[in-house]
Amino acid sequence: MRDAYHEHLDGLNASLVRLTGLVAGALGRATQALVDADLDLAQQVISQDADIDAMYADIEQQAFDLLARQQPVAGDLRAIVTSLRIVADLERSGDYATHVAEVARRRHPSPAVPAQLAPTVLEMGQMVQRIVAKAGAVIASRDLRLAAEIERDDDVIDALHQRLFGVLLDDGWDGGVEAAIDVILCSRYYERAADHAVSVARRVSYLITGERVVEPI
């Protein structure tokens, strides 16, 4: 049987997994709002960021209480400090969902993303949603194979970001400056959200293997 202390540690981990789910959902809905020019959905994502922030504060407090009361050492200490990092990464990813939703709201009722780029933006948003969900699975399972998958998924995101850049900078681009700015900002938000998911996966891997990954994201 697990003692109360290890139950608290498990609880902290479970909270991180739940938060990851909230953030992945926010990214998915923000993407939907963006490509559908759906104002209600955009508003929902923006107002639900408060739930993510509340959960962030709650997890911080849980971690802090464990540090203060239990004075953990070695592996447990490392796990708790890592939780503090992970929760910050997740909160930032959630912010990027809000930023995408804000772009959708700013251009409503016009769509922020021109039809010709919508498939690429949709692919990018959905991929980021899956990457973040996968980061949750890594936290839950501590599966190194899954953590490695996230690195490869992130390369796809970077390639999509470059593809959008290429289209917008091509002489044939006639969609105007406003659309170009909106698309590049959203693309950049997705790229950053995915980077934070990679960071989460690396932090969990470091906990398991003790090897720090220093490659640039």
Q: How far is the CB of 4 from its own copies (least distance, A)?
A: 19
Nearest of 158, 159, 178 to residue 168 by alpha carbon: 178
Nearer to its own copies, 88 or 118 (CB): 88
SS (H, E, C) 195-215: HHHHHHHHHHHHHHHCCCCCC
Q: How far is the CB of 75 from its own copies (least distance, A)?
A: 11
Residues that bind its own copies (CB under 8 A): 53, 57, 64, 67-68, 71, 73-74, 77-78, 81, 84-85, 88, 165, 168-169, 173, 176-178, 180-181, 184-185, 188, 212, 214
Nearer to its own copies, 41 or 86 (CB): 86
Q: How far is the CB of 180 from its own copies (least distance, A)?
A: 5
Q: How far is the CB of 145 from its own copies (least distance, A)?
A: 26
Nearer to its own copies, 31 or 82 (CB): 82
Q: How far is the CB of 1 from its own copies (least distance, A)?
A: 26
Contact 121, 51 (CB under 8 A): no
Q: Which residues contact 83 (CB under 8 A, 6 or more apart)?
A: 12, 13, 16, 59, 63
- Is 217 in a helix, a strand, or coil? coil
Tell me how far apart the alpha carbons of residues 157 and 172 are, in angstroms, rounded to a whole number. 24
Contact 118, 179 (CB under 8 A): no
Nearer to its own copies, 20 or 187 (CB): 187
Nearer to its own copies, 17 or 81 (CB): 81
Q: Which residues contact 46 (CB under 8 A, 6 or more apart)?
A: 98, 101, 102, 105
